[in-house]
Structure 1
Amino acid sequence: MTCLAFSRTVGGLTLAVALAAPLLPPTLARAETVTLKIAHFLPPGAPAQKQVIEPWCATLAADSNNQIKCQIFPALQLGGTAGQLVDLAKNGVADIVWTAPGYSTGRFPVIEAMELPFIVRDATSGSRAVWDFFQAHAAKEFEAYKVLALHSNGGDTFHTAAKPIAGPDSMKGLKMRAPTRISAKTVLALGGTPVNMPPAQVTEAIAKGVVDGAMSAWEVVTPTKLQEVTKFHSDPPKGQPYYASTVLALLMNKARYSDLPPDIRAVIDRNSGAPLVERFGAVWDGVIAATKEKVVAEGGAVVVQTQADYDAMRAAARVVEEEWVKEIGARGVDGAALVAAARALAAR
């Protein structure tokens, strides 16, 4: 209980009156709503928003008695490029961003080990591997952020307009959009010409013949309408790792997180990290399977490589890993050990 006191003058006499009032519980007394601004680079209908970010926000709201709300800004509505989203989070323009660290070339070199060719085979096991690798080897390069999740896109493959990519020779002479530095090196090693451009520009570029196809995840095919301008979609033999992959991240402004009340931080903590990584992985694998079915239903072809072609492509791309080990070694980091760790985690 708490007392509210006031005085009143009656007939020249001053009367003091004290009223008892109940003390409100702290959560009700504060009644503060925390709105988190979340930005990403894909359209609002993309699985990242509809199947992961929005349900995650709903969970935060329910777990916080509706004290946490989200305001989502898809398709770079807060400005900048996909590669600049990490700075939007770091500088507080957005509270949280979902993006690919690899879009910001040179900023997150260690986590690139999980993007090297022929490591990730699917989104669920790949995402677990990325999260464990981050915790063991790459936490330092993300220390400017509160890391809510790091996951894998399940693998990057080839989507082409005029001819399928079967073996290394079929890539020669083709201009291919590549999402990251590592995927660009992979395209180059296989005889193609890598072209860097944002996901939103890829479909138009293929339609106009600016590029012949794209190295991209299955997950972005339908959000960007890539299946409307490509006919052939390559896949490795069943159960084999993909040609490269892209690490994706949900990053929060560190000061914004630290300034939140402890109970709000606790809600975010128990609904992020490993549980959120699992959801990303499961959703991505579901979307990959559904996208392949949609592509075939609309007249496209999923071209599964022969083991011989796959092995030849893998041998041709080995130079990408060798160069990366040398590059990271120049920073005083044991690249070979990181690659071994990445492969071991992804193979579990």
Structure 2
Amino acid sequence: MKCLNVLSLLALSAVASASLATETVTLKVAHFLPAVSNAQRSVIQPWCDKIAQESDNRLRCQIYPSMQLGGTPAQLPDQVRRGVADIVWTAPGYTTGRFPRSEAVELPFMLPANGELGSKIIWEFYEQALKDDYSDYKVLALHSDGGMQLHNSKRDIASLADFQGAKLRASTRMTSRLLDALGATPVSMPPAQMTESMSKGVIDGALVGWEVVPALKLDEITRFHSEPMDGQPIFSTTLLSFLMNKQRYEQLPDDLRAVIDRNSGLSLSTTFGASWDREAARARQVVRDKGATLTTIDGTEYLQMREAGQRVTEAWSSEGDEKGINGTWLANTLRDIAKANGQSY
């Protein structure tokens, strides 16, 4: 009888293992942009297609763009942590206070205006300094938006004096601090509100990356675009993340976890960044074709902006030290990694 019981248990275990090995897993993937956005079209959907192919269609995605699962972009980290979504793509900076160390990535004039290189720097920084911020998640990618430029509807901004009186949209707490230090009035609002707000004169312009300009039709109402010269650190960078529910990942069979692992990390981060670079090049051409003014900020004017940004960095570093997250060390570590990757200061 005991022998029969053991054999029965072994048989049930074998059936369960076979069932697990052939299980189809559908991953709910949520983000805040439309389905036609660069993020979904160029990276998220191809990533989903790749993990499906490598898993013999045992891993599949159901993508929910434009916050179709409800809530706001700031709530996406909570949604994936609680299992409302299995994976989210979002900006950690939208959720103030949740990822305190990660704010270092958005410090002024720290990273290049290059999404692929910036994403490599960010991933190395994550591995050295940011893991405590993401202990509740399986981090699939952290990447750069290629840096932020100034896009304005009424006038060019090429000097520190030009910021005076300008109302500019800021995406995060750090960009608000930078714009304030430069003399502008920062205005916080979701990406979807920018175009209408600019057309109605609620704001004069925005500090955002090139990639969103055609996507949000900002090219139709902005006539002036300015940025530092090539090779110089950019005003600020939006950190973007692709995060998975940690328990969902850990519950996958070993071979499916291996598929996820092969398609995440540094390679996926730089894939995101390279996609942003391609979109930035396309956006520049779009505004050129429409006769917009593109201004390169250099020399004394650029150095004055850098000095204003340095005051923001020093204040943030001191605050971070007081809060116990080693703000000074974080800022210095990120700068050292950027220098090691060829960024000049």
TM-score by length of 1: 0.90
- CA separation in 2, counterparts of 1:247 and 1:280? 11
Aligned residue number for residue 228 of structure 1? 220
Contact 1:168-1:313 within 8 A present in 2 as well: yes
Distance of 1:346 and 1:30 partners within structure 2 = 43
Residue matched to 1:43: 34
Distance (whole Å) between structure 1 residues aligned to residue 19 and residue 320 of structure 2? 52
Counterpart secondary structure, 1:72: strand
Q: In 2, Cα distance between the equivalents of 1:212 and 1:89?
A: 35
Tell me how far apart the structure 1 counterparts of residues 308 and 138 of structure 2 sit (CA, whole Å).
38
Whether 1:271 aligns to 2:272 is: no
What is the aligned counterpart of 2:87 among 85, 92, 96? 96
Give the stretch that moved more between structures: 93-102 or 337-346.
337-346
Q: Match for residue 181 of structure 1?
A: 173
Verify the 8 A CA contact 1:43 1:223 in the aligned structure 2: no
Measured in 2, the distance between the counterparts of 1:275 and 1:80 equals 30
Picking from 204, 207, 210, the partner of 2:202 is 210
- SS for the counterpart of 1:241 is coil
Q: Which has the higher strand share?
A: 1
C-alpha separation between the residues in 2 aligned to 1:223 and 1:254? 32
Structure 1 residue 346 corresponds to structure 2 residue 338: yes
Distance 1:251 1:106 in 2: 17
- 1:60-83 superposed Cα distances (whole Å, 9 cap, x missing partner): 011001111111111111111111
Q: Which amino acid aligns with 1:210?
A: V
SS at match of 1:321: helix
* 2:184 aligned residue: 192
* Structure 1 CA distance for aligned equivalents of residues 20 and 337 of structure 2: 47
Given that 1:100 and 1:249 are in contact with CA atoms closer than 8 Å, whether structure 2 keeps it comes out as yes
Counterparts of 1:55-204 in structure 2 under 5 Å? 55-121=46-112, 122-204=114-196
Which has the higher mean CA deviation after the structures are superposed, 54-63 or 216-225?
216-225
Contact 2:117–2:270 (CA under 8 A) maintained in structure 1: no
Query: How large is the RMSD of aligned CA atoms in angstroms?
Result: 1.7
| Number of equivalent positions | 326
Deviant stretches of 4+, over 4 Å: 26-30
| 342 and 30 in structure 1: CA distance in 2 versus 1, 3 angstrom threshold | closer
- CA distance in 2 between partners of 1:133 and 1:111 (Å): 9
Residues 33 and 189 (structure 1), Cα distance of their counterparts in 2 relative to 1, 3 Å cut: same
User: How much does 1:135 deviate?
Assistant: 1.1
- For 1:84-120, what per-residue CA distance to the aligned partner results, in whole angstroms no more than 9, with x for missing partners? 1111111111110000000001111111111111111
Unaligned runs of 5+ in 2: 1-13
Which protein has the bigger helix share? 2
User: 2:109 touches 2:236 (CA, 8 Å); kept in 1?
Assistant: yes
Q: 1:92 to 1:28 in 2, by over 3 A?
A: closer
Q: For the residues of structure 1 that align with 2:43 and 2:194, how far apart are their CA atoms? A: 24
Report the Cα distance in structure 1 between the residues aligned to 2:123 and 2:174, rounded to whole angstroms.
19
Superposed CA offset, 1:20-73 (max 9, x none): xxx99x768853211111111111111111111011111101100111111111
Give the conservation status (yes or no) of the 8 Å contact 1:42–1:223. no
Structure-2 separation of matches of 1:30 and 1:114: 40
> In the aligned structure 1, how far is the partner of 2:58 from the partner of 2:178?
46
**Equivalent position of 1:337 in the other structure:** 329
Q: How many percent identity over aligned positions?
A: 48
8 Å contact from structure 2 (residues 115, 270) kept in 1: no
User: Aligned letter for 2:208?
Assistant: S
SS of 1:221 mapped into structure 2:
helix
Corresponding residue for residue 248 of structure 1? 240
Deviation of 1:299 (Å): 2.3
Task: Return the alpha-carbon distance in structure 2 between the equivalents of residues 233 and 41 of structure 1.
Answer: 25
